[in-house]
Amino acid sequence: MDRHSAADEPITPLGFLERAATLFADRRAVVDGEREWTYREFDDRARRQAGLLRSLGVKRGDRVAVLALNGVMLLESHYGVPLAGAALVAMNTRLSVPELQYIVDHSRSKVLLLDEFHSHLAAKLVAPRVIAGPDYDDLLASAPPGGEMPDDEWSLLAVDYTSGTTGRPKGVMYHHRGAYLQSLAMAFHTRLDLDSVFLWTLPMFHCNGWCFTWAVTAAGGTHLCLPRIEPGVVWEMIEHYGVTHLNAAPTVLTMLSADPAADPAKVQGVIKVATGGAPPSPALLERLGGLGMEVTHLYGLTETFGPVAIRQLAPETARLPAAERARLTSRQGGANIAARRLRVVDDSGADVPADGETLGQVAIRSGTVMLGYLDDEEATRAAVPDGWFRTGDLGVMHPDGAVELRDRSKDIIISGGENIASIEVEQALDSHPAVLESAVVGAPDDLWGEVPVAFVTLREGADVGPEELVEHVRGRLARFKAPKRIVFGPLPKTATGKIQKFVLREQVRG
């Protein structure tokens, strides 16, 4: 390209804040508890954070770790840290001290920021510089605005550590370009706008909040911070602020819909809800619909800046019978507008037939895929053997171009030579009115190799025996897929609400 061109401008999500601070300067950008900031003020805070980090010796190419609940400090770090030229390491607040220390060390973070809630960890975590809670606010107030836009859109914006269930976490490298494209895709698909009020029910440390940390700013909407999920508080905020958007795992949606405070009269218009992971059950979708929530089902990974797929159903499908529509809804769908194309490939990297039956691995190539794993060439090469990122998720390609996950490969239970997708059994269990949620894993069995064992949480006040549940599943699936044993009780979960199946697997193997 000709160097005279005015087109040679790197794309970066930092530009969204520059634009919002220019065009929406006096509009409300962030609410955190009792405090509020306009876009002019929020931009000023971000640039002061960059100035502060520079004054602490942070240089281009460094990393800055942040451990904070959803709040203004973590949100502004999505702008201030990269403005200072560094990459943000937003850490999972549920991790143990040794796990956190591993991430600070592995990322070689020069500075560690702790919010007030985590300031007691200042004595336990080691980094070249640790700034905690109240000190941060003072330092920020006196810091000179600083920082600058990146001159390379491929430069490192963030390192997101995957909460791997086994082995050491890997540092997924995010680039400015990918976060920019993913932000536009999210803003487009969820119809973010100037009058959007986005409630932060999703942790910002989780894939940088699926890039909504930048997408909401791109649209000029309001970030409504929420440090932790208390359903009563969520319903209060929905009513008080006129929430228009929220993102959450199905588990959180189940909690919100079951709460006594749930009331459609508190919703102004419709709340656009995006959810990831397992498809929400038809029963849950119906309950949420009755509460004024319109749910979009997304699928993605840390390596893809969050949601890479979206289930967009054609308007015509509204006329289909409910069961047929539920069947379509449960698919993960197709590439989002920026992700372009998902594939399902066999071991040789060739596409499996789009027949809705042949199992393969979901693969992605697009501007919204990570650069690789930090300091782990081997893992990067294994994940991207041929220019296509392998998700590790098994699924099928339907004739309508939609991908449907069958399971993580490790969640396939092989029983008597037959494959059982644990998700199928879970969906059958969840369709029983007494069941709140369930998880199914394979237990070793001398005769069959493996048999499915179900862990089930019942709804409050519900009562049902294991025999009835097994019969319920048998009424829906091949008999061999019915659980051989049912354990009642709460399910172990990660900070983001993912069920920790590895804990259950250890339990059935022990």
Interface positions with a second copy (CB under 8 A): 1-2, 4-9, 11, 15-16, 18-19, 22-27, 154, 175, 177-178, 181, 184-185, 187-188, 191, 194-195, 218-220, 312, 314-315, 333-335, 337-338, 340-341, 364-372, 380-381, 384, 387-389, 400-402
- Smallest gap from Cβ 428 to a second copy, in A, equals 28
- Smallest gap from Cβ 179 to a second copy, in A, equals 11
DSSP state, 200?
A: -
Planar angle of CA 496, 362, 483, nearest 5 degrees: 65
Q: How far apart are CA 420 and CA 167, in angstroms?
A: 26
- Smallest gap from Cβ 388 to a second copy, in A, equals 6
Q: Which two tokens stand for residue 331?
A: 């698919």
CB of 192 or CB of 421, closer to a second copy: 192
- 3-state class (DSSP) for residue 89: strand
At a CB cut-off of 8 Å and minimum separation 6, what does 146 contact? 47, 48, 50, 51, 52, 54, 55, 83, 84
Packed helices 212-219 and 176-189: angle between N→C axes, nearest 10 degrees:
60
Q: Are 420 and 414 in contact (CB under 8 A)?
A: yes
Pairing of strands 171-175, 156-161: antiparallel
Q: Can you state the percent helix, strand and coil of the chain, rounding each to 5?
A: 35, 25, 40
- Smallest gap from Cβ 276 to a second copy, in A, equals 19
CB of 4 or CB of 479, closer to a second copy: 4
Q: What is the CA radius of gyration of the chain?
A: 23
- Smallest gap from Cβ 207 to a second copy, in A, equals 15
CB of 64 or CB of 181, closer to a second copy: 181
CB of 306 or CB of 333, closer to a second copy: 333
CB of 1 or CB of 265, closer to a second copy: 1
- Smallest gap from Cβ 226 to a second copy, in A, equals 23
CB of 182 or CB of 415, closer to a second copy: 182
- Smallest gap from Cβ 321 to a second copy, in A, equals 19
Among candidates 413, 411, 431, 417, which has minimal Cα distance to 471? 431
CB of 137 or CB of 346, closer to a second copy: 346
Tokens 């990918």: give the residue.
Answer: 178
